Structure 1
Amino acid sequence: MSYIVVTGGAGFIGANVIKRLNERGEEKIIVVDNLNSSEKWKNLVELSFEDYVHKTKFIEMIKNETFTRAFRAIMHLGARSSTTEKNVEFLMENNYNYTKELAKYCLANNVRFIYASSAATYGDGSRGFSDEHALIPLLRPLNAYGYSKQIFDLWALKNGFLDKIVGLKYFNVYGPGEWHKGEMRSMVLKAYEQIKKDKKIKLFKSYNTLYKDGEQLRDFIYVKDAVEMTIFFLEKTELNGIFNVGTGIARSWNDLANAVFSALRMQPEIEYIDMPEEIKNKYQYFTKAEMTKLKSAGYNNPTFSLEDAVRDYILNYLEKC
């Protein structure tokens, strides 16, 4: 019997992937993560899986090939995902070197490899948001996190591996299971918390004359949709390469704030605040996933609208906590 490994399995997207796999009858799953002193272990409580392995022990076993179990796939969703992380060496070790070791193992052992890249690789978006491989060398990420993801994409491209593995560029994912992510929590969750505390939402002012305050645009994707797109590649083993995971629709922060107020049946009250100096020059004013490639690959599931997804998240999860 072969197993599915999910790294970052106690994390936001990882736990949601395992939940969906369980719903489909999959329980031969190995969770890889670093629970340390965080509370994210709670994401595992209702999940069914065979074993838990610490990420350091797992990579040692991969390097030494000391596993006795056979793997059907490694879904590498674990990473240091903070866009403000300043320890670049830490990012390179966790997001680049770790991913390389897993990729090399999978390629050598005929194991399906699906890994999380990021929309942060697109930088300011001036070169577009196409997931065609020709664009990869032209991208210029705005932060070290984005670069740590970009450099693996480049390594895979230069070594001719992208026709044998799958990289997924997740855009702005939000939904159940993200509560432990600190400052990297989605604005939906932060907005909900702000309303519960202060009855209003704070959004960053715009410092780009092309965008009014709160009208900066993002491709927001509900985690349930992101999970379906991810598992699609577990099934379609003939498909490989880099693919965007988004909706293909850009919505404003004001839209998001209004959706949160609407779900709570409250009148909107938005305060625009100064953006921290350290992120002003690294801020993405516009993101929108180009989804033609995924659709051409056969993925045709409809995605939640921002309003429907926010309502589902708030009413069926946050309000029930």
Structure 2
Amino acid sequence: MIVVTGAAGFIASCLVTRLNAANFNDIVVVDNFAVERKLVNLKGKRLRAYVDRNEFFDWLAEHHEEVEFIFHLGARTDTTEQSREVFDLLNLNYSKQMWQACCQYQLPLVYASSAATYGSGTLGYSDDDVLLPLLRPLNPYGESKNDFDNWAVTQAEKPFFWAGLKFFNVYGPNEYHKGRMASVIFHAFEQIRNTSSMTLFRSHNPDYADGEQKRDFVYVKDVVEVCYFLMHHRQHSGIYNLGTGEARTFLDLTLNTFDALGRTADIHFKDTPEDIRDTYQYFTQADMSKLRSIGYDRPFTRLEDGIQDYVQNYLVPGAYM
């Protein structure tokens, strides 16, 4: 069996689809299934069992001999949430318990970290372990992910294989439920379809013109391919960036969304909301050399191609991956 936590969410549900496509059908999905708006992400999937996240460790104690691999992708991902208690509970302490269970039962583990750990990017975007204690995330979400990364690398006892993945700006199908936290591509599609225009955040940094803020946008299909690769290549444990290695502007993103919809571009700007203005990242770009060094050689999807696929094959028809 393969365990996937956060399975009804965005990235994890796409991973389940990828596993099913490779005929892995004994999949145990773990989540808070009371959040009904996410359940459609698992519709039609071939699954072994549903396990509530609060009951998972009791379940694992009974079934660990049947488990082959754990993908721990469940987390509270709201970057505007300010309650450290919430992040300590769901992101830090739950992940510690997962790690310790994988050590106890000798299970391989891939878990979700985040590019939010890099904060303003003053130290760059290298996933070298020596930089981990020096990183200063800009919000409690990023802090919770960085706290766990730092805790993990200092543990004397580790799973026989483990990998933490620092997700950059992931976009793609199955993010319909995420609301404000959905990708800018999703919001661009909604605005363009409804108003024939798109409003972006104005730059409050003199080094960047309006719309020229840059992020490393990575298609979710590439993310799950990396997860699948790591399940089959367990020689090199560690923390890895997961982006494309190429930063693109929000104007690039928006213009390509207009193009995918066959609409004439009409772009406006508004002030960045005050609750995120001081913690806004103006530039992210993953250093992908570490993942490449362990043999991952698939090309990453160009932003133009990813947006075209996402818009035409998922957003327009309202389809799921």
Give yes or no for TM over 0.5: yes
Task: Identify the match of residue 236 of structure 1 among 233, 238, 263.
Answer: 233
TM-score by length of 2: 0.96
Q: CA deviation at 1:69?
A: 5.0
Task: Identify the match of residue 15 of structure 1 among 10, 13, 16.
Answer: 13
**Matching of residue 76 in structure 1 with residue 72 in structure 2:** yes
Aligned position for 1:85: 81
| Aligned-partner Cα distance in 2 for 1:85–1:148 | 12
Q: Deviations over 1:38-65 (max 9, x none)?
A: 3111011121110000000113444xx2
Q: CA deviation at 1:163?
A: 7.8
| Aligned-partner Cα distance in 2 for 1:90–1:228 | 30
Contact 2:107 / 2:160 at 8 angstroms: preserved in 1? no
Change (3 A) 1:242 1:68: closer
Aligned position for 1:184: 181
Change (3 A) 1:170 1:37: closer
Aligned position for 2:255: 258
| Aligned-partner Cα distance in 2 for 1:163–1:7 | 20
Worse-matched range after superposition: 122-131 or 163-172: 163-172
Aligned position for 1:137: 133
**Unpaired segments ≥5 residues, structure 1:** none
Change (3 A) 1:215 1:163: farther
Aligned residue type for 2:49: D
Q: CA deviation at 1:20?
A: 0.3
**Matching of residue 209 in structure 1 with residue 199 in structure 2:** no
**Matching of residue 50 in structure 1 with residue 48 in structure 2:** yes
Taking only aligned residues, the RMSD between alpha carbons, in angstroms, comes to: 1.2
What SS does the corresponding residue of 1:67 show, helix, strand or coil? helix
Aligned residue type for 1:232: F
Q: Deviations over 1:175-224 (max 9, x none)?
A: 00000011111010100000111111110000111100010000000000
Aligned position for 1:223: 220
TM-score by length of 1: 0.96
Aligned residue type for 1:251: R
What SS does the corresponding residue of 1:180 show, helix, strand or coil? helix
| Aligned-partner Cα distance in 1 for 2:197–2:210 | 16
What SS does the corresponding residue of 1:242 show, helix, strand or coil? strand
Task: Identify the match of residue 124 of structure 2 among 125, 128, 141.
Answer: 128
Change (3 A) 1:252 1:162: farther
| Aligned-partner Cα distance in 2 for 1:49–1:60 | 19
Aligned position for 1:114: 110
| Aligned-partner Cα distance in 1 for 2:63–2:262 | 53
Task: Identify the match of residue 283 of structure 2 among 263, 283, 286.
Answer: 286
| Aligned-partner Cα distance in 2 for 1:258–1:204 | 15
Aligned position for 1:245: 242
| Aligned-partner Cα distance in 2 for 1:226–1:315 | 20
Aligned residues: 317
Aligned residue type for 2:105: N
Q: CA deviation at 1:162?
A: 8.4
Aligned residue type for 2:169: N
Aligned position for 2:312: 315
| Aligned-partner Cα distance in 1 for 2:99–2:210 | 42
